[in-house]
Amino acid sequence: MVTPQSEDFSKWYNEIVYRADLAAQSPVRGCIIIKPYGYEIWEAVKNWLDRRFKETGHQNAYFPLFIPESYLKREAEHVEGFSPELAVVTIAGGKELEEPLVVRPTSETIIGEAFSQWIQSYRDLPLLINQWANVVRWELRTRPFLRTTEFLWQEGHTAHTTEADAEAETMQMLDIYADFAWNQAAMPVIKGRKSENEKFAGALRTYTIEGMMGDKKALQSATSHNLGQNFAKAFNIKYLSRENVEEYCWTTSWGMSTRIVGGIVMTHGDDKGLRLPPRVAPIQVVAVPIYKTETEISAVTEALQRIVKELRGAGIRVHIDDRDETPGFKYNDWEMRGVPVRLEMGPKDLEKNSVVLARRDVPGKEGKQFVSQDGIVQAVKDLLDTIHHHMLQQAQDFTQSNIQDVHSHDEFKQVIEAGYWARGWWAGSNEQERGIKEETGATIRCFPLDQPGGNAPCFLTGQTADRIALFAKAY
């Protein structure tokens, strides 16, 4: 049995990741091995995002893993943000290197240098590049998927002629991430802007999608940065304008990583194991034959294979579990692995020309239905859609009911201590924000894009505030 979430969410999470076979431990500090079942979820993320990136005019490229140490130092905030986390190659080909090479923690610097050479004129803009890559950040505390020394991600890097174009790109990519979270991963994330304290090292403005996990902690699930002209100035990314004037570009960067796999686990999982949203589930339907006699085996198996073929033909991801184990063992196993739909078929179902469909998201009898074998494809498709919307609704209800409005410092502390997210008007300084963090462990997750408008007193300072902030403890 798995440790219940209510007893120790963190322990539950670690157990699920390994027992559902998403990942395995590795001998390298802070690094996991992403096993096929976990990697397939990442492939679903990748395939969807890659298609959307291309539809919006981006092209993939690949830049070196190693970055000369001097490059990282060119943008002051950037190097300050990343230097405690760097892994450094000092020896190569049996010799000490003259200039150490940093293993990329992110690629703004090396891509900035490339852009400065590729961009000559306004005709070269916008330049819209994406990279699928591994990056390394030497983190003190690591957790599978959520924070690992090495992780996989995509990093978009673009250059534009105007601030407005850069801002539009930044928001477009944020919207794509939110679209993925809501409509593929069934994660009702909140779009917002980061505070000065929490923004990306070197950015003008950072936008984020924040999701509430099962323990009510927040997970920053993707970010999109308007880098202003900071990197353009540090790397001399200039273009000749239509008016023949040399100008600095406006650049952006944006990323989603394998962290999202952990977010999916923590948003939807329960005490029985994983619950995977159908659109990213490697296996959408597991088919379990039920039989006692030899004659039954062949009849059931034959009928089941026909159905599975039909489902696969319609693009549904189906697995037949023909292991020599009891149905009960198989049910538990696939519940642990979070497969959205179980399709059972026994001799009686065969007689009645029906199958049983059991939902992972609705336990017990209520989640079971008999369905005719005729029209099974449509029935399964509809059910997968229903499950997606149900899981999204559950997560939405959970998120909404765990965000509390606060109007005073005391109220804020109570709400955070009770484990909720706090939503309140905010006009505090960066310093006061740091004070709140020290006192309660909560940070501003974002200023939601969806604001009530108008003014009200800041819950901390009483000064007039023109926006609300969301505070929470976070991963």
User: Which residues of this chain interact with its own copies, rule CB under 8 A?
Assistant: 24, 26-28, 31-36, 39-40, 42-43, 59-68, 71, 83-94, 100-101, 103, 110, 113-114, 117-118, 129, 133-134, 136, 138, 140, 149-150, 152
Nearest distance, CB of residue 284 and its own copies, angstroms = 16
Nearest CB to its own copies, comparing residues 114 and 187 = 114
Nearest CB to its own copies, comparing residues 66 and 122 = 66
**The dihedral sign for the CA sequence 160, 194, 267, 1:** positive
Nearest CB to its own copies, comparing residues 270 and 321 = 321
Nearest distance, CB of residue 201 and its own copies, angstroms = 16
C-alpha–C-alpha distance, residues 26 and 16, integer Å: 17
Nearest distance, CB of residue 118 and its own copies, angstroms = 7
185 by DSSP, 3-state: which? coil
Contact 131, 215 (CB under 8 A): no
Nearest distance, CB of residue 417 and its own copies, angstroms = 32
Nearest CB to its own copies, comparing residues 236 and 386 = 236
Nearest CB to its own copies, comparing residues 119 and 446 = 119
Closest CA to 170 of 235, 93, 225, 121: 225
CA 209 to chain centre: 9
Buried-state track 16-41, b at ≥16 Cβ within 10 A, e below 16: bbeebebbeeeeeebbbebeebbbbb
Nearest CB to its own copies, comparing residues 36 and 435 = 36
Nearest distance, CB of residue 325 and its own copies, angstroms = 11
> Cis peptide leading into 126, omega within 30 of 0?
yes
Nearest distance, CB of residue 140 and its own copies, angstroms = 7
Closest CA to 472 of 430, 429, 427, 418: 418
Nearest CB to its own copies, comparing residues 142 and 230 = 142
Could you please report the per-residue DSSP string of 214-283? TTS-EEEEEEEEE-TTHHHHHHT-EEE-TTS-EEE-EEEEEEEETHHHHHHHHHH-BTTB----TTT-S-
Nearest distance, CB of residue 219 and its own copies, angstroms = 21
